[in-house]
Amino acid sequence: MPRLPRGRGIRFSRPELFRIAGLAILLVFLVVAQRPCADAVSRFVTSFGDQGSAAAPLPRPGTVDVPAGGAGSDLGRYEQLRPGMTEAEIKAAIERARARARAGSGEGSGAAAPSPPAPPSR
């Protein structure tokens, strides 16, 4: 009856043991040094330039002033473009908006350069 081969266990040469130990030390170093290095890089990057808008506190609900005209005061300035409008309805809405803009800016009936019609919003 043949015998099963038995191994001699795991045997490593000195260079192999050195490589394994070096890799283990490197992995431990990466785990330990990750947080201080990330903090230092963050401080370095954010130190450039002035504070800009980052210095201003973010608005919180209830602290933002509402415009004097109310929330719906701007709705009269815009033409509503709905899905499913025909080309004629879209052109009419654009012409009404142009006429309102001319009346508001005081241009009168002066000829202006025609602008292409806006595509319908969806």
> Which pair of tokens denotes residue 61?
């609900």
> What confidence score (pLDDT) does residue 71 get?
54
Question: Identity (one letter) of the amino acid at 59?
Answer: P
39 belongs to a structural domain? yes
Residue 36: which domain range?
Answer: 14-45
73 contacts: CB under 8 Å, gap ≥ 6:
67
Report, as ranges of residue numbers, the positions in the chain whose pLDDT lies below 70: 49-57, 66-76, 106-122
Spatial contact of 96 and 56, defined as CB atoms under 8 Å apart? no
29 belongs to a structural domain? yes
The counts of H helices and E strands in the chain are 2, 0
109 contacts: CB under 8 Å, gap ≥ 6:
102
Number of domains in the chain: 1
What predicted TM-score, i.e. pTM, was given to this entire model?
0.32
26 belongs to a structural domain? yes
33 belongs to a structural domain? yes
> What confidence score (pLDDT) does residue 23 get?
97
88 belongs to a structural domain? no
> What confidence score (pLDDT) does residue 78 get?
80
CA distance 21 to 28: 11
